Amino acid sequence: GQSQTVRCRGQVQTQRNTLTYRKEVTEMGMTPYPYMKANIDIILNGKAVVDFKNLCVMITEQDDNSPYPVDLPANVLANIVKAVPVVALAAPVVASAAEELDERGINPFKFPERPLMRVMTDYNSPKEKGVTPILHFEAPQVAGQNRVPNQAPFTPWHMFEFATGNISNCFGPDFDVYKGRIPPRTPCGDLQVVTQVVEVKGNRLELEKPSSCIAEYYVPEDAWYFTKNSHDNWMPYSLIMEIALQPNGFISGYMGTTLKYPEKDLFFRNLDGSGTLLKQIDLRGKTIVNKSVLVSTAIAGGAIIQSFTFDLFVKGERGDDELFYTGKAVFGYFSADSLTNQLGMDKGNTTNPWFVDNNTPKSDIEVFDLTNKALPFFSAPANKPYYKLAGGQMNFVDTVSIVEGGGKAGVAYVLGERTIDATDWFFRYHFHQDPVMPGSLGVEAIIELMQTYALKNDLGAQFTNPRFIAPLTKVDWKYRGQITPVNKQMSLDVHITEVVTESGEVRLIGDANLSKDGLRIYEVKNIVLSIVEA
């Protein structure tokens, strides 16, 4: 990712002479890998005929999934190994990886037994649809933690390999067919929310029978999604969805689903789902246990459709796990061509915002620019510190348009729009080398719209210290398309169908849609947002 300057100041003609190379090292370092920067002059007869500025070199691990692996002949490799002396380094020379900060400014290996993924940009790998991937780092070694492929428990080492490394290190040599290809992945970086899988039941390729896994996620007390949220003890609904759904992908991978078509590159996508929140729990510092079941598999026409159930528990100290979220989901594996040519929810027809189809006067449409963080929506009063929109990575909408008395129920219509950019933070995390916006974040964007409407109308006025929270309700979602870095715009709308005001709670209820470049691809029914006393 570094630029170099090359200047030719003369020519070297055929002759008997000596070229002298003079190197000036300008920078050296060890993060993310050993590297060096230098200026180099090529000198002939005392004159620099060519000079290079900021020439760079880095030593990295060979990527087993690279389409151009570097393989030395065995005899050459053996001679190199014999020639390398064994040197014992003094402890202070190399800083412990557990003490290093990544480019987010956090120490992901602070707790080696339950590490987060280290995030450093991989400038040496090609971009995928304009997205620069992150480097692969192994999980730190912990005494007693399993590192045997395809054997439970699947520790952070396996999960990191599944996310960005060699998938065969996670699931075994059956997956060597993906060497040099893009394999199925689990999310990485900030969106990787499975710490380990402690149990699996099922035999590979026996897809006619149900199979299952038990996964655990150790929730950091200071996770980004807490610190960026409007209240730091509220896990966003999108993260609960991710914690629920990611083990579905794990058990599907473990069972070797894509090995039914080993010659094809297939991509894993969520199609439908529903989740019911049963209890509101402060999840900071807790261990979430996910019991996921692969219920059924249907294979037809090169596509694979699978149904799952999931149950999320908070792990108790005495084994008294507490169920707080339950649901089901349908996923599919599809070819790149079929994903590119998806027709959305309306047989390929594009749709307009409600106020366009209904010729709403511009004077009836209130527009708010959420890229302007000086708006009062982002700065809560001192006595109401949680009565605001989330910030940072939890912002998904650029502009919001509101029509009071609009929408299909005549209560309100809210439209949000976002310009899609390949540098959007979520693309490099979901998935590695297969960038697509998570459907869960689309649902989170819909919640952001509802929060904006609530703040605009001060629907929490009855409370001394109001806050937003996900109520104990069921949410149904349906996806028939994806947002990738090549799309230009995401638009989403909510038809507010009801505002229910009670003594201890205000509820907003709505039906929502999400579109890419005018094509409606998501539908979320009966989504509810609550305002309560903090």
pLDDT tens track for 460-499: 999 999 999 999 999 999 999 999 999 999 999 999 999 9
**247 and 380 both lie in a single domain:** no
The count of C-alpha atoms lying within 13 angstroms of the C-alpha of 11, restricted to the half-sphere facing its C-beta, is: 2
**317 and 378 both lie in a single domain:** no
Question: Tens of pLDDT along 505-528?
Answer: 999 999 999 999 999 999 999 999
* Residue 96 within a domain: no
Higher pLDDT, 64 or 334: 334
* Residue 64 within a domain: no
Among the listed residues 136, 158, 231, 430, the single catalytic one is 430
Which has the closest alpha carbon to 299: 261, 273, 268?
261
**260 and 315 both lie in a single domain:** yes
**181 and 265 both lie in a single domain:** yes
Pairing assessment for the beta strands 489-501 and 5-8 based on DSSP bridges: unpaired
**117 and 216 both lie in a single domain:** yes
What CA–CA distance (Å, rounded) separates 190 from 428? Answer: 10
The torsion defined by the Cα of 11, 12, 17 and 23, in degrees rounded to 10, comes to 70
**155 and 300 both lie in a single domain:** yes
* Residue 347 within a domain: no
For the domain that residue 110 is a member of, what is the CATH number? 3.10.129.10
Question: Tens of pLDDT along 317-369?
Answer: 777 899 999 999 999 999 999 999 999 999 999 999 999 999 999 999 999 99
* Residue 119 within a domain: yes
**308 and 434 both lie in a single domain:** no
Question: Tens of pLDDT along 426-439?
Answer: 999 999 999 999 99
**309 and 217 both lie in a single domain:** yes
Q: What is the pLDDT of residue 320?
A: 84
Q: Which domain holds residue 52?
A: 5-58
Q: Say whether 158 is catalytic.
A: no
* Residue 451 within a domain: yes
* Residue 77 within a domain: no
In whole angstroms, how far apart are CA 506 and each of 187, 207, 242, 451? 35, 46, 27, 12
* Residue 193 within a domain: yes
What CA–CA distance (Å, rounded) separates 336 from 334? Answer: 7
Question: Tens of pLDDT along 366-402?
Answer: 999 999 999 999 999 999 999 999 999 999 999 999 9
**260 and 177 both lie in a single domain:** yes
Give the total number of structural domains in the chain. Answer: 3
Q: Which of 308, 340, 372 is the last residue of a domain?
A: 340
Q: Which two tokens stand for residue 108?
A: 């992901």
What CA–CA distance (Å, rounded) separates 209 from 297? Answer: 9
Question: Tens of pLDDT along 163-215?
Answer: 999 999 999 999 999 999 999 999 999 999 999 999 999 999 999 999 999 99
Q: Which two tokens stand for residue 118?
A: 């280290």
SS3 112: coil
State pTM to two decimals.
0.83
Pairing assessment for the beta strands 412-419 and 474-479 based on DSSP bridges: unpaired
**52 and 163 both lie in a single domain:** no
Question: Which H/E stretch holds residue 400?
Answer: strand 399-404
Cβ contacts of 204 within 8 Å, gap of 6 or more: 174, 254, 255, 256, 259
* Residue 75 within a domain: no
Write down how long the chain is: 534
**242 and 267 both lie in a single domain:** yes
**166 and 233 both lie in a single domain:** yes
